[in-house]
Amino acid sequence: MELITGIQQVGIGVPDAEIAKQFYKNDFGMNVKVFDDTSFASLMTRYTRNECHQRRAILSMNLAGGGGFEIWQFLSRKPVFPSQTIQLGDSGIFAAKIKTQNIKAACHYIENNNCTAL
């Protein structure tokens, strides 16, 4: 039996890595850039129909701890969005849990920065 005991990072596919990097930095506090790399994603071919594509990947984290956000943008083709609405129970990671040391401060930040609280 396989058991997931932790997640190093969550991959987030985006059409524009530069815009996404700023969004996750400002709205989620992912303000420590671990790397910003452009290369061919030869290890991702099982997810890209056995084709090796060029991509940009940015790994950012928060010094308070937890997993990082790996922002991933195709450079050699346009991204293909899902043909149907993604739902809980579909393959892959649907949502990431983000912790805070001060829930009142986090709620205050969300309310005052035009973030959507679910």
Average pLDDT of the chain?
87
- The whole-number average pLDDT for the span 38-52 is 90
Which of these, 5, 3, 7, 2, lies nearest to 97 by C-alpha position? Answer: 7
CATH at 29: 3.10.180.10
Please report, as a single letter, which amino acid is at residue 4: I
In a domain, 46, yes or no: yes
Q: Encode pLDDT of 55-101 as tens digits.
A: 999 999 988 878 899 999 999 998 888 888 888 888 777 777 777 88
CA 51, CA 83: separation in Å to the nearest integer?
A: 20
The verdict on residue 3 lying in a domain is no
Is residue 47 domain-resident?
A: yes
> Which pLDDT score, from 0 to 100, does residue 58 have?
97
Helix (H, G, I), strand (E, B) or coil at 56: strand
Determine, yes or no, domain membership for 62. yes
- Structural domain span for residue 71: 9-77+95-112
Alpha-carbon 78 to chain mean position? 18
Domain count, the chain: 1
Q: Across the strands, what pairs with 38?
A: 56
pTM comes to 0.79
41 within a domain of the structure (yes/no): yes
